Structure 1
Amino acid sequence: MEKEFLELVELQALIKDELESAFPGRIRVKAEISALQARSNGHCYLELSQSEGGRVVAKARAVCWRNIWAQVSACFAQVTGSALKEGMTVLAEVSASYSELYGFTLVINDIDPEFTLGERELKRQMTLKRLESEGLLDMQKGLALPSLPYRIAVISAPDAAGYRDFCRHIESNEYGFVYATELYPAAVQGDQAPQSVADALAAVEASGIAYDCVMLMRGGGSKLDLACFDEYVMAAAIARCPFPVITGIGHDQDHHIADMAACLYVKTPTALADWLIDLYAAEDEAIAYYSTRLRLAFQNKVNAMAAKVDMMESRILAADPRNILKRGYTLTLDASGKVARSARVFNSGDEIRLLFPDGEVEARVK
């Protein structure tokens, strides 16, 4: 009697045959890594997914065997500067596999690191266009940086090496300058970083403190580690901040969207500290320069006035009647003590006084 049903194993075998016959070779698949677990035995188990409109529309289990995983992960890290991790969009070369016990699995044979970098760049360009269309990219450029920023809000991870470098540089500056800095902690790496930085910027604004500027810093990293600084959420929050934002993310070559949205950017947290110290050092030098000029100008003025006084004194002394008398002249005074300037003012019998350098003589006119 012919069976009217299939055994489960028979059904599974049919599915396996049909699936592996339909996809006999390798297939290139674009997907997001939604879960990744590298086991101690060297194999790596992943979950690949696809989302549309914020909703997962497809999901598949995947595995990368030990010998392939060692090569794939090393190559990806070398090219991108970052390890494969959850949240990344990848282009994987896979084989379709079906097990009667474990079901459908994609066996990963290779992952293209250049594709992941390209996806990031495409997303970056789209973010730039959006910021430009919304008028956000140049908002910070309209804010005026104080000539000597003193009260500064710092956004960074408390344990970040770049933040520690910044603090050490500021606190040990050779001039002894002191600044009022306050840390607003935020994640500066990973998928949470954009919203975390945006929340920190909101906290700065809500503090009610009139900061001179905000400094966003991180101590470098790979291209994918720094990809969070190309996200719209972070850039838009920077653009809308009411205080000038200065970035020091820690990269030497790349120019991130966060840098473009900021009022000013420098390469590293240490460069941020140098920029701040140099501002004060330049002002200190200017004050010393103008103090010297003022002191010299004041001294020159005093010297000029002293010379003028000396000259006037010489003229006064030269015109002093006592000095004239010393040269052999006498001064004639009438009875009232007035100086007689002409002989015609006297009559016979008038009493007069004759002044000499060493005394006076009374006489009478004949």
Structure 2
Amino acid sequence: MEYVDLLTLQSAIKDGLTELFPESVWVKAEIAAVQVRMNGHCYLDLVQSEDGRQLAKVKAVIWKSKFPLLRAFFKDATGKDLEVGQQILVQAEVNYSELYGLSLVIDDINPEFTLGDAELKKQQTIKMLQDEGMMDLQQKLELAAIPYRLAVISAPDAAGFGDFKRHLTENQYGFYFEVDLFPATMQGEKAPESIADALGAVEAAGGYDAVLILRGGGSNLDLACFDDYGLALAIAQCPIPVFTAIGHDRDYHVADMVAYRFVKTPTALADEFISMYMDEDERVGNLGARLARAFAAKIQQRLSALEELDRRIKAADPRAVLRRGYTLAVDSNGRVIKSAAAVHKGDSVSIMLSDGTLTAKIEKVTI
């Protein structure tokens, strides 16, 4: 039986790999683990997955002689450090050790690839939400005319939350708002689930007019959690209007797209709610003015009617007729004499004038 010893086999593999990959190659992979050791070296586990199943895995290292430069280069371009879950494109030497097996020694990294991969995932998420009819669910909700009870989802120590609350509660008009904080992780791979859990807590608490998701800005990759499908779905399906203000000036994240409304910064969102109060205050003021005018017009109309009625009553008053030179004759029973045939010779009658009454006896009746 022919055989080879282990070292010979390992050496043959090493020689074969060296011949196959004599120079560095560009490798696309996902970071499954990353650790910076005390000695300054950075060790990574790189994987390739499909449908949640790992298809390939390899160890990689960035030696301390290059790690500070590559780290700074990547962070400057993406705004983030090397983190689990990132898709990266690295230039690496294929290394094989008879003792430790296959590994990659990273010499360079392309941050543009990582940014591009994030954008691709974002577009895929948007397509899924569109296909599921989730993009405009929030727009079908009705916001209270005066949304004063607000649930804020943010990190407790976030500057954005502090700025928002101060700007809102110290408004110059004295408008009152009730603001409750629901703490959440606002960055990194745990952020989407944490924010979604906070949304669930708000819904369970009940009684809120609006939910506000606040963050004080960050780099593109810092804010990549707001492109997460699960978080976007939670926002879309929330039965309370959700406002987002995550501090970005240029980018438009999926969370913004599915929200009831998005504003660039927490302070701008505070202004938005103050403006709602001002609009309602003006509307109520205008309504009060219209009611006052309507009541004044109605009262004037009634006064005019009363004046006309008074005029008619006065015009119909017998004393007014007498003052115009007419007289009024009544018989002995006080009945008005309307016809000569109603009296006879010898009857006593009273003749009323404007300034007194005459008593007379009928001497003759001529018809």
For normalisation by structure 1, the TM-score amounts to 0.85
For 1:296 and 1:362, the matched residues in 2 are separated by: 57
Q: How many residues align?
A: 357
What amino acid is the match of 1:127? T
1:237-248 to 2 correspondences below 5 Å = 237-248=234-245
49-58 vs 238-247, greater mean Cα deviation? 49-58
What amino acid is the match of 1:268? T
Instruction: Confirm or deny that 1:140 pairs with 2:138.
Output: yes
For 1:312 and 1:227, the matched residues in 2 are separated by: 78
Structure-1 residue corresponding to 2:211: 214
1:190-209 to 2 correspondences below 5 Å = 190-207=188-205, 209=206
What amino acid is the match of 2:214? M
Structure-2 residue corresponding to 1:112: 110
Taking a change above 3 Å as real, the CA distance of residues 54 and 145 of structure 1, as seen in their structure-2 partners, is farther
Equivalent of residue 336 in structure 2, options 339, 342, 347: 339
Instruction: Confirm or deny that 1:124 pairs with 2:119.
Output: no
Structure-1 residue corresponding to 2:355: 358
Taking a change above 3 Å as real, the CA distance of residues 54 and 198 of structure 1, as seen in their structure-2 partners, is farther
What amino acid is the match of 1:240? Q
Structure-2 residue corresponding to 1:156: 154
What amino acid is the match of 1:118? G
For 1:307 and 1:5, the matched residues in 2 are separated by: 120
Structure-2 residue corresponding to 1:59: 58
Equivalent of residue 43 in structure 2, options 28, 43, 46: 46
Q: Is the 8 A contact 1:97 1:107 kept in 2?
A: yes
Equivalent of residue 267 in structure 2, options 265, 270, 292: 270
225-234 vs 354-363, greater mean Cα deviation? 354-363
Instruction: Confirm or deny that 1:320 pairs with 2:289.
Output: no
Q: CA deviation at 1:292?
A: 0.5
Instruction: Confirm or deny that 1:167 pairs with 2:174.
Output: no
100-109 vs 259-268, greater mean Cα deviation? 100-109
Taking a change above 3 Å as real, the CA distance of residues 327 and 359 of structure 1, as seen in their structure-2 partners, is same
What amino acid is the match of 2:113? F
What amino acid is the match of 2:71? S
What amino acid is the match of 1:35? V
Taking a change above 3 Å as real, the CA distance of residues 117 and 38 of structure 1, as seen in their structure-2 partners, is farther
What amino acid is the match of 2:297? N
Q: CA deviation at 1:239?
A: 2.3
Structure-2 residue corresponding to 1:35: 34
For 2:26 and 2:330, the matched residues in 1 are separated by: 129
Taking a change above 3 Å as real, the CA distance of residues 300 and 206 of structure 1, as seen in their structure-2 partners, is closer
User: What's the RMSD between the two structures over aligned residues?
Assistant: 3.1
Q: CA deviation at 1:214?
A: 2.0
Q: CA deviation at 1:12?
A: 9.7
Q: Is the 8 A contact 1:169 1:273 kept in 2?
A: yes
For normalisation by structure 2, the TM-score amounts to 0.85
For 2:326 and 2:108, the matched residues in 1 are separated by: 123
Structure-1 residue corresponding to 2:257: 260
Q: CA deviation at 1:170?
A: 1.9
What amino acid is the match of 1:132? Q
For 2:336 and 2:244, the matched residues in 1 are separated by: 87
What amino acid is the match of 2:129? L
Q: Is the 8 A contact 1:36 1:86 kept in 2?
A: no
User: Structure 1: any 5+ residue segments left out of the alignment?
Assistant: none
Taking a change above 3 Å as real, the CA distance of residues 5 and 127 of structure 1, as seen in their structure-2 partners, is closer
For 2:81 and 2:286, the matched residues in 1 are separated by: 54
What amino acid is the match of 1:63? I
Q: CA deviation at 1:344?
A: 3.3
57-66 vs 100-109, greater mean Cα deviation? 100-109
Q: Is the 8 A contact 2:58 2:102 kept in 1?
A: no
Taking a change above 3 Å as real, the CA distance of residues 14 and 121 of structure 1, as seen in their structure-2 partners, is same
For 1:151 and 1:31, the matched residues in 2 are separated by: 46
For 2:299 and 2:63, the matched residues in 1 are separated by: 88
For 1:316 and 1:104, the matched residues in 2 are separated by: 116
Q: CA deviation at 1:261?
A: 2.4
Structure-1 residue corresponding to 2:24: 26
Equivalent of residue 295 in structure 1, options 288, 292, 295: 292
For 1:211 and 1:5, the matched residues in 2 are separated by: 72
Taking a change above 3 Å as real, the CA distance of residues 223 and 295 of structure 1, as seen in their structure-2 partners, is same
Taking a change above 3 Å as real, the CA distance of residues 56 and 201 of structure 1, as seen in their structure-2 partners, is farther
User: Structure 2: any 5+ residue segments left out of the alignment?
Assistant: none
143-152 vs 225-234, greater mean Cα deviation? 143-152
Instruction: Confirm or deny that 1:348 pairs with 2:345.
Output: yes
Taking a change above 3 Å as real, the CA distance of residues 333 and 5 of structure 1, as seen in their structure-2 partners, is closer
Instruction: Confirm or deny that 1:251 pairs with 2:248.
Output: yes
Taking a change above 3 Å as real, the CA distance of residues 210 and 145 of structure 1, as seen in their structure-2 partners, is same
Q: Deviations over 1:102-135 (max 9, x none)?
A: 9876443221111000111122222223333334
For 2:144 and 2:238, the matched residues in 1 are separated by: 16
Q: Deviations over 1:298-347 (max 9, x none)?
A: 11221222123223322322332222322333221111112222333221
Structure-2 residue corresponding to 1:183: 181
Q: CA deviation at 1:289?
A: 0.6
Q: CA deviation at 1:165?
A: 2.0
Q: Give the 3-state SS of the residue equivalent to 1:344 in structure 2.
A: helix
Taking a change above 3 Å as real, the CA distance of residues 324 and 252 of structure 1, as seen in their structure-2 partners, is same
